[in-house]
Amino acid sequence: MTRTRKDLEQSLKKGEIEPIYYLYGPETYLRDQAIKSITEKALAGTLLREFNDIAFDLTTDKISEALAAAEQLPLMSQRRVVRIKNLDKVEGRRRVVDDDKEEDFSPGVRRLIDYLERPLATSVVIFSSENIDKRKKYAKTLLAGAYEFQPLKSNELSAWIRSYLETLNAEMEPRALSELVEIAASDLQSLINDLNKLAAAALPSGRITADMVSQLVSRSREHMNWDLTDNIVSRNRKAALKVLWDFLDDGIEPVLLTGIIAGTFRRLAMAKALLDQGAAPPEIFSEVRVPQFKQSACISMLRKIDSATMVRFMRRIAETDLSIKTSKATPRMQVEMLVCELMI
């Protein structure tokens, strides 16, 4: 059974410290806060903190260096903490073992597997990443005791916003809160930037209104991605082109927009296949990541479109991507033509 951030909070309140943690999921702000909480609990009372709190990022550091630090004894402390970020970037080579299995055999990965089997009792090693390749040999060990960090649901998000605003001596009108939950980015770090901006604008009263939200908070790109797809499927050309032009005017490159459209339709195709197989929405969205605020709209979209049309859409998107990369016409014209043709 997958453990969540709430399970971690309860464990830390009880004073429980594990030798190995793996925190994963798309909600980076809460993951980072959890890593800080584990570190603070593990190093409580430590005088030489700087010698016993070490961080590595596997986008630039090697796993062997991080594990070497984990294998060292703490200095004048009961524990040392080693934080290893971006575990999904661990270096590795793959070879085919038999017809349907592969195995990592790089020295760094072998060392990781060895450490997971025999962790040092005086070290607290915190691995983190957005996701993990479940085919990797070490994944099963890590996932067995992992903590998952998914984006907050709408009701959780409202409570979190109110709590965060208390730290800023600000409050939000109910209508403003509803509007913010609807249009804001789903990741908390982006939301924090918006809340700080709103709290500053609300001085000296500290009361944030719906008008402030409308004026100061941009609709998130994630929201706009789904607005664009929704309008394409609904054949609302005027609205679809308006969203597209907003993207282009915001400086988003046409080739990146084509990738955004392709990624959204790939998720829709996967969800469509599950829906046609009789899967219920909770099952569909456990397999296909769709923003919480768009899940109901997504199901409505899927019921408007047949599989043959979905295949045609994907083929046309791929053709446009190739045309942009081979300079057959101006990139902006190509992506505008794509959006129009997808609504024919």
The per-residue pLDDT for 1 is 64
Joined tokens for residue 156: 């959780």
Contact predicate 310/276, CB 8 Å: no
C-alpha to C-alpha distance for 320 and 305, rounded to whole angstroms: 21
Joined tokens for residue 343: 């609504």
Please report, for the chain, the start and end positions of each structural domain, with discontinuous segments joined by +: 3-148, 154-216, 221-341
Domain 154-216 has CATH 3.30.230.10: no
342 SS3 class: coil
Joined tokens for residue 45: 């009372």
Write phi, then psi, for 316 (nearest 5 degrees): -70, -40
**Beta strands 3-4; 147-148: pairing state:** parallel
Look over the chain and give the mean of its residue pLDDT values, rounded to a whole number.
Answer: 86
Average pLDDT over residues 166-181: 92
The per-residue pLDDT for 68 is 96
Q: Which residue has the higher pLDDT, 312 or 154?
A: 312
Joined tokens for residue 202: 């609300």
Of 264, 187, 258, 262, nearest to 230 (Cα)? 264
The per-residue pLDDT for 96 is 46
- Fold classification of 221-341 is Zinc Finger, Delta Prime; domain 3 (1.20.272)
Quote the percentage of the chain above a pLDDT of 70: 90
Could you tell me the end-to-end alpha-carbon distance of the chain, in angstroms, rounded to an integer? 46
Joined tokens for residue 87: 């575990």
- 262-284 tens-digit pLDDT: 877 888 888 888 998 988 888 88
Contact predicate 86/59, CB 8 Å: yes
The per-residue pLDDT for 292 is 65
- 53-107 tens-digit pLDDT: 999 999 999 999 999 999 999 999 999 999 999 998 886 655 544 544 555 568 8
Q: Does the pTM exceed 0.75? A: no
The per-residue pLDDT for 140 is 87
C-alpha to C-alpha distance for 94 and 136, rounded to whole angstroms: 9
Cis peptide leading into residue 204 (ω within 30°): yes
Looking at the structure, give the CATH architecture of the domain made up of residues 3-148: 3-Layer(aba) Sandwich (3.40)
